[in-house]
Structure 1
Amino acid sequence: MSPIEKVSESESNFKDAVFEGKDFYISEEILGERYRVFHQASTGFSGTSGIRRSATQRANSFCQKIDLNKMMLTVSEHTASPPYILGNFPRIEIIFACVDRKSAQTSIATTDKYDLLTKIKDLLDKGAVNTARV
């Protein structure tokens, strides 16, 4: 677990990494100061979902410490790519902004919809979703 830092004052934990990973999600529409949180699993047997959940919870707690009426919105997400061997453990870096809860409700609905479509497309590209009819 790394510290949460301002994007303007830090570098990506994927910079110069042997296994660079890939951008899983990017949304440039979210305004405000951007922060970076990075998590890495301790083994190759852990999944990305667990470290994503942990990083998201840390980001939400960080925003609520700034102001109880704030919440985190994901600007981008970068993840390690399998195979998880030779030190290439599941890793995730989330760039986020702390925004007011009330003003974020419409952004969340739009972001969630596109986030879901992006995840489905990624699964399709990996061959995890079969589009052939039986």
Structure 2
Amino acid sequence: MSEEYKSPLNAHGIRCFNSAGMGTKLSSLLHISSAVVLPPNTRQVVTSGQTGMREDLSYPSSLVEQFDLAFANVEASLAAAGVQDGFYAVYQMTSYHVGGLSGGEVDEAMEFVVQKYFGKNRPAWTGVGVTELYGEAKVEITAYATLVD
């Protein structure tokens, strides 16, 4: 049996669910939802892939800083489209990671950005390991959010 839980996304009319057992455990561990349900007539905003690139188009060597910049760049893209609540309006995202999805500096970077950007929000989130990304990017994120009038 699934469980519906309270989420910042509820303010956007989105309902969040976790499957019993493993889904609930992974939700706590990885800060994700098993599934989300969008209300009818919801306006959606989709970002292009955002990396941890600085304003001068360079990349920091620190993976934590690249993750932080990638998340900040997603928020800036959402704000440009009129999304006021940043990651609290994100219901789904896909992240691409060079060099693996967990361990060492990746875990440190993930913990940092989850605490800084997500609060109690747990979007549906897919992480994909890749061999390379644009330039010196180590992470790239595409986000899906709702736009509330």
**TM-score normalised by L of structure 2:** 0.35
**TM-score normalised by L of structure 1:** 0.38
